[in-house]
Amino acid sequence: MKMFVGLGNPGAKYAQNRHNVGFMAVDQIAADHGFAPWRAKFQGQVSEGRLGTDKIVLLKPETFMNLSGQSVGEAMRFYKLDSTDITVFHDEIDLAPAKVRLKAGGGHAGHNGLRSIHQHIGPHYDRVRMGVGHPGHKDAVPGYVLRDFAKADAEWLDDVLRGLSDGAVALAQGDGPRALNAVALRVAPARSSTTTPKAKPASAPDPDPPAADTRSALQKLADKFRQ
């Protein structure tokens, strides 16, 4: 069994915030893969299902972001999981919008949700880092992540969420490259191999072609000796 944790803040006020993209990701997985209805447990919302042959628990902590580790730790102990069985989906300001990267272990880089999880289960868990961009100055970060995604972000955000859902089985199997490839196919789909290449422009005609030589062979010979 493995657990996928989406980070965010509970309530309609925060539902479309950049900080809530982790909630959005696990919601997409639950909807696409036929998981059980969400139910309240472990100071959060839980849904259970399967990705391929793997049993997966989805968790959305409702303790607010800064206390996410309380919910994660409680669920981990209940299911008797190791921290390495847990994958956390979270917003990442150090990645450009639509970029997704995977990371195993390491620091929390100042992310308050990850900081709390570190405190409760340690640093040895996997992360799906979902790029939301940076406001340009560190003092602007809190307000930036707690604002809704812009309308212009809707298309790439939908592609990323669907791509992560497409790659969820691979992620559960530990195949990170295949999971990321599923995202890439949504965000930047490959060109069709049946696309007809553009025809090369025809060479321009010679503007002043040489005149045809109409002399007879005898005239040519005579002219040669006159030169």
Give the active site residues.
Answer: 19
State both tokens at 90: 């979270």
User: What is the Cα–Cα distance from 225 to 165, expressed in whole angstroms?
Assistant: 87
State both tokens at 48: 């259970």
Angle at 40 between CA 38 and CA 41, to 5 degrees: 115
Determine contact, residues 165/185, Cβ cutoff 8 Å.
Answer: no
Q: In 3D, which of 42, 32, 45 has the Cα closest to residue 6?
A: 45
User: What is the Cα–Cα distance from 90 to 75, expressed in whole angstroms?
Assistant: 18
Determine contact, residues 89/165, Cβ cutoff 8 Å.
Answer: no
The residues facing 100 across adjacent strands are 130
State both tokens at 107: 């620091």
Determine contact, residues 3/76, Cβ cutoff 8 Å.
Answer: yes
Q: In 3D, which of 87, 7, 82, 1 has the Cα closest to residue 44?
A: 7
